[in-house]
Amino acid sequence: MAEYRIDELARLAGSTVRNIRAYQDRGLLPPPRLEGRVGMYDDTHLARLRLIGKLLARGYTFAIIKDLLGAWETGKDVAEVLGLEKVLTDPWSDEIPGTVAYEDLVAKFGSGLDEDQVARTLERTVELGLIEPDGDKYRVPSPRLLHVGAELVAAGIPLDSVLDIAGQIRADCDVIAGRFVSLVQEHVFTRLEGPVPDGEEVGEEVGEVAEVVRRMRPLVKMVVDPFIARAMEARVQAALGDHLEMIRDALGRRPAGDD
């Protein structure tokens, strides 16, 4: 097995000497073999150091990393923690992103706009996250949203108004998402805080948290959809009720035999 001095180990692992010593102080990295007064590290240290770097890059705290490494060393399964990471990083939508050419965007949304107006509109659409520059085309994270926008514009609603409401709805949805996350964070995520339990116990707790997050996906839609439907029903009836009465009155006054 190859052996390395601390500076060489840091270079191979893409880390620093200072970090290596800090990891040793925290109990994340085993001490080196001493050769006189020089510490010699081997491939085991290198693999451990690279793993620590990856876990830190993914947002794990030192406490969780220490528990993971301890569980790994004792042969325990750490799949629960990795499963939680997958749950947290997986997309919440099954929608497949698409691409669209500049010409197609102009054809759908830019009718009657000059070049400067098109450029400003594209910039605003990118800021809203509805499209993303991708070479000579644009990536569309949600083709459904783009389709809704095209339908609204086709119905005669000005494009600026469509983008205005898109920004407002995005902000509203961020508030809704924040409320759900705060609820789960307060009552579920706090189980992972405080003193670190044994590896087996933390694995069970992490597995429970992963299951709660997994179950949140359909639950969020099940809660939001009915509330939106009921709110739209009430708003539409309130907004169009007077117009409906006017139409009924007009129909009632129409001479008999008219179509």
**Looking at residue 160, what is its pLDDT?**
92
What are the pLDDT digits (tens) for 208-256? Answer: 666 777 777 677 778 888 888 888 888 877 777 766 777 777 666 655 5
What are the pLDDT digits (tens) for 36-90? Answer: 888 999 888 888 888 888 888 877 788 878 877 776 666 555 555 555 555 555 6
Strands 137-140, 98-101: pairing is: antiparallel
Topology of the domain covering 3-74: Multidrug-efflux Transporter Regulator; Chain: A; Domain 2 (1.10.1660)
Token pair of 162 as six digits: 């469509």
Secondary structure element (H or E) that encloses residue 141, with its range: none
What are the pLDDT digits (tens) for 193-203? Answer: 555 455 445 55
Instruction: Domain ranges for the chain, please list them.
Output: 3-74
CB of 16 closer than 8 Å to CB of 10: yes
- Surface-to-core class of residue 2, CB atoms within 10 Å of its CB (0-12 exposed, 13-18 middle, 19+ buried): exposed
